[in-house]
């Protein structure tokens, strides 16, 4: 299926959106256009009269309008039969458009449109749009992220049984808080049931590009384990229903299906289901994805902003393109202007770029590496310390966090990573079970095998708490409760974070705070190494990208999955082991180099590392002063790979680095894709 809309398809989609969202205003503009057309036609008829030769067009327009309003003006032509007939026609046009049309016929049309719109039974004439079935708190963030993409080619329809006005208000509130200057207008919100064939027909589901099956979220006081199981089962039932619906509606190209689930069992049920559309189904276990992101961020905190940069439309994204015949990755790096080729899979090549249009299509690359390669193959040192991670809190992501840390430790056995679990008394039994589980035993030493339990969430810890010391802790990960009420969301991580701040420990640790509500992000002051992981934002950005191209899921999942992670399988039920993303201090990566490393451009650094490591490591960015820069970021000016210009994700001019050469200090970090 073609991804880009033609001019007429885009025009028809826009007219459909305007007519659906505001039928009254649409019909009013249509009436004005008809009146203007009739006045123009009347003016043309009057200019044909011999009596009006020599008169200007402005005078004729005024005369035509006068005749339409005052029919008696035609009697001045009573001695000229032809002129009288023409003026009578003009009067009739005026009666149709200004009198009968506006007051009578047009009024009945507007009434009919309003009635049909109120009944919500009018079929939408949309194609290649994105359909979201069900509504929860992640949907507004999905809509928000589309504002950083090609909005003219993006059309979204939401079908839910929740109140239409409430959904619209929540979306508008998110824009007003985070980006008052932007607004996504190509959206239709419909009331109805995703299990209704009539409602699916009405939103043109079979002509959609992608269908997102979301877990239903409503007003609730507490989410229990049974509620979560019911939500997953409801998504599975909806998936089966959509599969049956699409099989009965023949279409040239079936839409891709994205199913949101929160556990591995439901994910496997959907992945193994005999879906007749082939490889067009993609179950997404958001707890697993977020757990992996939090795990790698706890080990390498600078990757937090980098990963968000890659999975959101605000900055650069992943794109798949056909492999140019006879062009290797090395040759492709030489010829690209700003896009970054990463790896090949089948007949496709994965790129990191701001836009698919920026991927170069030429087959010539004349760039030659000036910096001499080392005599021996460079084998980077990833880490040389023995960090200890403190995880405060317990939720459904903790299992995946620990699994990912175990796989990381197994992949890098010299990296003696250890974990300490901490929570309040109510979750003591849960975290003790994790500490005693054999599959996680490698993470807990004799001194950390027993979790730290505090009786109350307001109990201080750190130097004030003699039972536990933070002196040997490198990173602190605060987890939010995902079974609390809406009024208490993010209570535990925010209070524990504040406790750490009060004991003046923030400067000594890398803090990663999970918040479920985007508005709570602004509460946390980003001091020094503070990193904020926003669950809703990460997942919503991921869904937004997958809504445009679901095939990206396998590569995003692969990027944050370490070797031998049996729990992580792609859409074809194969282990994800093709690549990893890492952020390493420059002095470690280049083997205890204590001097500044200088490269003439970003392209020279990329090619030099890629060739020196035997194509095992591909630099995609760097971290300077705790700010992440990706090399494929560009403003469309002379700041491509052949320059040393470094651009932040948010276009902050104060963070932009303009230099004649790219310099890596020993304490800077280099962001690389490790090609397994």
| Predicted pLDDT at 25 | 72
Of 154, 162, 140, the residue nearest 539 (C-alpha): 140
Boundary (domain end) residue, out of 493, 510, 539: 539
Assess whether 135 and 51 both reside in one domain.
no
Assess whether 267 and 304 both reside in one domain.
no
| Predicted pLDDT at 229 | 86
Residues 577-631 pLDDT 10s: 578 899 999 988 888 778 889 999 999 999 999 999 999 999 999 999 888 899 9
372 pLDDT higher than 70 = yes
Look up residue 669 and give its two tokens: 């970090």
Assess whether 114 and 141 both reside in one domain.
no
Q: Report the distance separating Cα 18 and Cα 635, nearest Å.
A: 32
Interacting residues of 331 by C-beta distance below 8 A, sequence separation 6+: 365
281 pLDDT higher than 70 = yes
Would you tell me the crossing angle of helices 286-299 and 398-411 to the nearest 10 degrees?
50
Range of weakest confidence among 138-142, 192-196, 290-294, 470-474: 470-474
220 pLDDT higher than 70 = no
571 pLDDT higher than 60 = no
Assess whether 138 and 94 both reside in one domain.
no
| Predicted pLDDT at 116 | 62
495 pLDDT higher than 70 = yes
Interacting residues of 637 by C-beta distance below 8 A, sequence separation 6+: none
Q: Report the distance separating Cα 455 and Cα 586, nearest Å.
A: 43
Assess whether 254 and 160 both reside in one domain.
yes
**Count of CB atoms situated within 10 Å of the CB of 594:** 8
What DSSP line would sit under 330-375, residue for residue?
HHHHHH-SS-EEEEEETTEEEEEES-GGGS-----------SPPPS
380 pLDDT higher than 50 = yes
Residues 23-61 pLDDT 10s: 767 777 777 777 777 777 777 777 777 767 767 777 777
Q: Select the highest-mean-pLDDT range: 118-127, 274-283, 376-385.
A: 376-385
| Predicted pLDDT at 464 | 45
Mean pLDDT along residues 453-465: 64
Assess whether 269 and 304 both reside in one domain.
no
Give me the CATH number covering residue 185.
3.40.50.720
| Cα–Cα distances in angstroms (integers) from residue 486 to residues 261, 512, 616, 666, in the given order | 20, 22, 46, 45
| Predicted pLDDT at 279 | 65
Check residue 620 and give left, alpha or beta (phi > 0: left; psi -120 to 50: alpha): alpha
Assess whether 139 and 180 both reside in one domain.
yes
Q: Report the distance separating Cα 140 and Cα 190, nearest Å.
A: 15
Assess whether 518 and 444 both reside in one domain.
yes
136 pLDDT higher than 70 = yes
Residues 261-273 pLDDT 10s: 988 889 988 888 8
Beta-strand runs (E) in 516-654: 531-534, 579-585, 597-599, 617-624, 627-630
φ, ψ (nearest 5 deg) of residue 534: -105, 105
| Predicted pLDDT at 221 | 42
Q: How confident is the model at residue 149 (pLDDT cuts 50, 70, 90)?
A: confident
| Predicted pLDDT at 612 | 92
| Cα–Cα distances in angstroms (integers) from residue 590 to residues 213, 297, 584, 624, 667, in the given order | 46, 22, 10, 16, 12
Boundary (domain end) residue, out of 247, 278, 309: 278
| Predicted pLDDT at 556 | 86
Q: Is there a domain that residue 366 lies in?
A: no
8 Å CB contact between 90 and 45: yes
Q: Identify the burial level of 284 via C-beta atoms within 10 angstroms of its C-beta, where 0-12 means exposed, 13-18 middle and 19 or more buried.
A: buried
Find the domain containing 481 and state its range.
Answer: 388-539
Look up residue 515 and give its two tokens: 């918040």
Q: Tell me, what DSSP letter sits at residue 438?
A: G
Q: Is there a domain that residue 92 lies in?
A: yes
Q: Report the distance separating Cα 531 and Cα 535, nearest Å.
A: 13
Collapsed DSSP state (helix, strand, coil) of residue 291: helix
8 Å CB contact between 337 and 360: yes
Assess whether 164 and 269 both reside in one domain.
yes
Assess whether 397 and 520 both reside in one domain.
yes
Q: Is there a domain that residue 564 lies in?
A: no
Q: Per the structure, how many domains does the chain have?
A: 4
8 Å CB contact between 379 and 674: no
Q: Is there a domain that residue 41 lies in?
A: yes
Of 81, 87, 103, 109, the residue nearest 19 (C-alpha): 109
Q: How confident is the model at residue 538 (pLDDT cuts 50, 70, 90)?
A: confident
Look up residue 356 and give its two tokens: 């698919």
Q: What angle do CA 538, 542, 546 make, to 5 degrees?
A: 175
Q: Select the highest-mean-pLDDT range: 215-229, 231-245, 459-473.
A: 231-245
**Count of CB atoms situated within 10 Å of the CB of 102:** 16
Q: Report the distance separating Cα 646 and Cα 671, nearest Å.
A: 13
Assess whether 395 and 535 both reside in one domain.
yes
Residues pairing with 456 in the sheet: none
Q: Report the distance separating Cα 188 and Cα 528, nearest Å.
A: 42
Residues 239-259 pLDDT 10s: 999 988 888 876 667 888 999
Mean pLDDT along residues 193-222: 84
Helices (H), 394-507: 398-411, 428-436, 491-502
| Predicted pLDDT at 648 | 82
DSSP tally for the chain: helices H, then strands E: 20, 21
Question: Between residues 49 and 668, which one has the greater pLDDT?
Answer: 668
Q: Is there a domain that residue 567 lies in?
A: no
Mean pLDDT of the chain: 80
Q: How confident is the model at residue 465 (pLDDT cuts 50, 70, 90)?
A: very low
Q: Is there a domain that residue 618 lies in?
A: yes
Mind spelling out the 3-state secondary structure of 210-270?
A: EEEECCCCCCCCCCCHHHHHHHHHHHHHHHHHHHHHHHHCCCCCCCEEEEEECCHHHHHHH
Residues 298-349 pLDDT 10s: 888 889 889 988 888 888 888 888 898 888 999 999 988 889 999 888 888 9
Of 267, 291, 270, 231, the residue nearest 538 (C-alpha): 291
| Cα–Cα distances in angstroms (integers) from residue 164 to residues 42, 143, 145, 169, 191, in the given order | 44, 15, 21, 9, 6
φ, ψ (nearest 5 deg) of residue 220: -145, 155
Of 305, 406, 390, 211, the residue nearest 628 (C-alpha): 305
Assess whether 138 and 167 both reside in one domain.
yes
Strands 156-160 and 388-392 turn out to be unpaired
Residues 384-436 pLDDT 10s: 566 789 999 899 999 999 999 998 888 877 777 889 999 888 888 999 999 99
Q: Is there a domain that residue 601 lies in?
A: yes
């Amino acid at each position: 299926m073609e991804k880009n809309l033609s001019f007429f398809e885009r025009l028809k989609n826009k007219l459909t959106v305007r007519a659906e969202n505001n039928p009254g205003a649409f019909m009013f503009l249509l009436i004005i256009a008809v009146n203007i057309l009739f006045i123009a036609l009347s003016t043309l008829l009057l200019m044909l009269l011999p009596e009006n030769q020599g008169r200007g067009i402005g005078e004729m327009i005024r005369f035509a309008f006068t005749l339409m309003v005052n029919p008696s003006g035609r009697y001045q032509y009573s001695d000229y039969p032809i002129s009288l007939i023409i003026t009578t026609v003009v009067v009739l046009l005026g009666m149709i458009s200004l009198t009968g049309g506006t007051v009578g016929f047009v009024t009945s049309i507007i009434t009919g449109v309003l009635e049909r719109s109120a009944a919500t039974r009018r079929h939408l004439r949309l194609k290649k749009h994105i359909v979201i079935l069900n509504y929860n708190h992640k949907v507004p963030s999905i809509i928000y992220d589309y504002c950083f993409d090609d909005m003219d080619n993006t059309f979204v329809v939401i079908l839910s049984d929740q109140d239409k006005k409430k959904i619209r208000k929540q979306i508008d509130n998110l824009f007003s808080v985070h980006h008052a200057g932007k607004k996504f207008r190509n959206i239709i919100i419909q009331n109805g049931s995703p299990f209704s064939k009539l409602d699916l027909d009405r939103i043109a589901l079979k002509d959609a590009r992608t269908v997102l099956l979301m877990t239903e979220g409503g007003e609730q006081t507490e989410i229990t384990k049974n509620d979560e199981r019911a939500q997953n089962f409801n998504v599975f039932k909806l998936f089966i229903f959509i599969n049956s619906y699409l099989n009965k509606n023949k279409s040239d190209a079936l839409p891709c299906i994205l199913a949101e689930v929160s556990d591995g069992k439901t994910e496997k049920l959907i992945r193994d289901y005999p879906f007749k559309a082939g490889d067009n189904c993609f179950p997404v276990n958001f707890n697993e994805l977020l757990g992996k992101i939090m795990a790698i961020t706890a080990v390498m905190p600078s990757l937090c902003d980098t990963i968000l940069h890659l999975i959101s439309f605000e900055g650069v994204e992943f794109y798949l393109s056909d492999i140019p015949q006879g062009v290797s990755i090395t040759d492709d790096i030489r010829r690209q202007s700003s896009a970054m080729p990463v790896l090949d899979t089948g007949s496709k090549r994965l790129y990191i770029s701001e836009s698919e249009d920026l991927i170069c299509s030429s087959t010539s690359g004349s760039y030659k590496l000036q910096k001499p390669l080392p005599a021996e193959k460079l084998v980077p040192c990833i880490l040389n310390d023995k960090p200890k991670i403190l995880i405060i809190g317990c939720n459904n992501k903790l299992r995946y966090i620990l699994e990912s840390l175990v796989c990381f430790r197994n992949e890098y056995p010299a990296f003696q990573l250890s974990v300490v679990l901490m929570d309040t008394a109510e979750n003591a039994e849960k975290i003790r079970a994790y500490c005693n589980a054999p599959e996680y035993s490698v993470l807990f030493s004799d001194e950390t095998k027993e979790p730290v339990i505090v009786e109350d969430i307001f109990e201080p810890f750190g130097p004030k708490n003699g039972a536990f010391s933070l002196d040997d802790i490198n990173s602190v990960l605060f987890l939010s409760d995902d079974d609390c009420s809406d009024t208490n969301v993010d209570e535990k991580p925010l209070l524990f974070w504040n406790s750490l701040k009060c004991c003046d420990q923030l400067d000594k640790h890398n803090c990663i705070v999970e918040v479920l509500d985007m508005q709570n992000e602004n509460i946390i002051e980003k001091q020094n190494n503070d990193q904020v992981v926003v669950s809703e934002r990460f997942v919503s950005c991921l869904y937004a990208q997958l809504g445009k191209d679901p095939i990206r899921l396998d590569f995003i999942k692969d990027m944050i999955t370490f070797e031998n992670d049996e729990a992580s399988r792609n859409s074809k039920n194969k282990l994800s082991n093709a690549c990893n993303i890492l952020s390493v201090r420059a002095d470690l990566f280049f083997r205890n180099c204590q001097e500044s490393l200088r490269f003439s451009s970003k392209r020279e650094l990329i090619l030099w590392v890629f060739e020196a490591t035997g194509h095992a490591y591909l630099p995609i960015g760097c971290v300077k002063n705790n700010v992440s820069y990706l090399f494929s970021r560009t403003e469309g000016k002379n700041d491509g790979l052949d320059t040393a210009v470094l651009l932040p994700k948010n276009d902050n001019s104060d963070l932009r680095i303009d230099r004649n050469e790219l310099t890596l200090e020993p304490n800077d970090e280099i962001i690389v894709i490790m090609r397994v």
